[in-house]
Amino acid sequence: MRPPGFQVLVFWLLSAAAARPFTEEEMAGIRQRIKSMFYHAYNSYLDNAFPYDELRPLTCDGQDTWGSFSLTLIDALDTLMVLGNQTEFQRVASLLQDTVDFDIDVNASVFETNIRVVGGLLSAHLLAGRAGMELEPGWPCSGPLLRMAEDAARKLLPAFQTPTGMPYGTVNLLRGVSPTETPVTCTAGVGTFILEFATLSRLTGDAMFENVARRALRALWKTRSDIGLVGNHIDIVSKKWVAQDAGIGAGVDSYFEYLVKGAIMLQDEELLNMFLEYDRAIQNYTRFDDWYLWVQMHKGTVSMPVFQSLEAFWPGLQSLLGNLDGAVRTFQNYYSVWRQFGGLPEFYSIPQGYTVDKREGYPLRPELIESAMYLFRATGDHTYLQLGLDALESIEKIAKTPCGYASVKDLRDHQLDNRMESFFLAETVKYLYLLFDPTHFLHGGGTEGDGFWEAGGEGGQCVLGAGGFIFNTEAHPLDPAALYCCSRHAQDQQDLHDILLSLSQPVGKEDRQSESKETEGPPPGQSESIALKPGEKKTPPLLSCPVQPFTARFSILGQVFSDNT
């Protein structure tokens, strides 16, 4: 463990580095550099690797990695819109509709297909209006990209058909789950579906997706240890923990992320309470000097005193919950590792202050940049911009090749690996750009008239895109307003159906007498009490005027007028 004095020194150095503010002109220049980085990688993929999943930047060719979906193109689609390239967004969205087929005999990761493919298509669907695409009537509750996302997600549903509701890790897109599939999967592979699946359910009206995601979350919740922790890998049939290391990093990370973001996006207290209870155990057993170690899930004893690069999302998550003090201190620890190597090694030994053997690589992960974006939004501290500039220059210096950007095999000597993961364009570049564009529409930036919001839903009665986007764990932004718009429209339709159904029912003598009593007003001079007697239920008359929805624009003397009046 590093002595406290070292952390104070690092904090002082970082504060000194942050003393020089970045001007608007400097930030604009950095955004242009980030765009150039994106297009160097993106064009290299199109020229050398498409339609394969990923680019191999050292040999200038492609390979399939996660299922043969042209994955980099799906993952990068919404980044095109973030950078303002509507023309290419439209071209690629049309291309994917014509070329991608999910009816293929391929074994695919349920987790990766969800966060990259389903998440990427949902995000692109929700940004299609802003991208100037021709929209179907009722968008965002319908559309071709939404149907593609739904098709991909349906291919994953067989994995959830288990006794516990927790999914298998792999599914064949054509044949379902193999009889020989292992029941052991990581915690994140069970708990990282609620954002995409709830979005699908509320946009399409099919509750199946959200239901299976919630069932998996609740089943996982019941398996936590007596001290409130979960392990790393679980048998989803027997509910036995196979790997009992508890932490916030690889194999667990996005489970906690989705409890928080799901709570925010869905306004869901159940998810938030789950996370808060976990967080109490995490703070009690895994946090040491604002580092988070790995401990035995039943005893709380330290099992691995390491920092993993995937843990760098945590300060950003803390900032979403308002815990800025803890977020800042933990970020400073992680930033000190970055400055030591010019990147975050996959594993870093905290007591030794150095990389862990065979875990020295840096596959251009986005997590520390993601946290910097959230913390800059929360604090305005230019320390986080300095991290962004450090990251940009490190990647340019270490990882750039004539054919894109290569993962760093070893941060000690900057050896490269022949792979450019799709998340480089989906997350790393996107978070870098958004870090240096604080008025971007995804932050809720802009002013009225600048097009920072748009209309949607039946008749254009919904306000979309006015801020509050939630990023899934692959940095695909989802708009909670769209979920509300479509689910509210479905509820309005159901309410109308119920009213018409009730009107079609014959009214008997007893019903008429009851109706007469219910509709009788109070005696003259006496107000009707709104307090009910114990056990009494207030029933509305058979035909009543429902509360007017948002579509009602104004009223005169109690008479309500809507747009089509």
Known binding residues for Ca(2+): 473
Distance CA 80, CA 120 (A): 12
468: closest CA among 445, 437, 435?
445
195-233: burial string, b at 16+ Cβ within 10 Å, e else: bbbbbbbbbbeeeebbebbbbbbebbbebbbeebbbbbb
Active site residues: 112, 253, 346, 367
Whole-angstrom distance, CA of residue 369 vs CA of residue 490: 39
Structure token pair of residue 374: 């959230």
Indicate the burial class of 3 (C-beta count within 10 angstroms; 0-12, 13-18, 19 or more): exposed
**403 contacts 57 by C-beta, under 8 angstroms:** yes
Both tokens of residue 108? 């695919």
Q: Please, which residues have CB within 8 angstroms of residue 523's CB and are 6 or more apart in sequence? A: none
Coil, strand or helix at 27: helix
Please tell me whether the peptide bond between 523 and the residue prior to it is cis, using omega within 30 degrees of 0. no
116/121 Cα distance (integer angstroms): 8
Task: Retrieve residue 26's tokens.
Answer: 């400097």
The Cα-based distances of 370 to 16, 311, 557 in angstroms read 22, 11, 52
CA 484/CA 203 separation, integer angstroms: 8
Contact 129, 78 (CB under 8 A): no
Q: Which two tokens stand for residue 358?
A: 């065979």
Q: Are 196 and 122 in contact (CB under 8 A)?
A: yes
What Cα–Cα distance (Å) separates residue 14 from each residue in 11, 169, 248, 352, 475? 5, 41, 25, 22, 27
**Which position has the token pair 């993106």?**
42
- DSSP letter for 420, please: B
Give dist(CA 19, CA 375) in Å, integer.
16
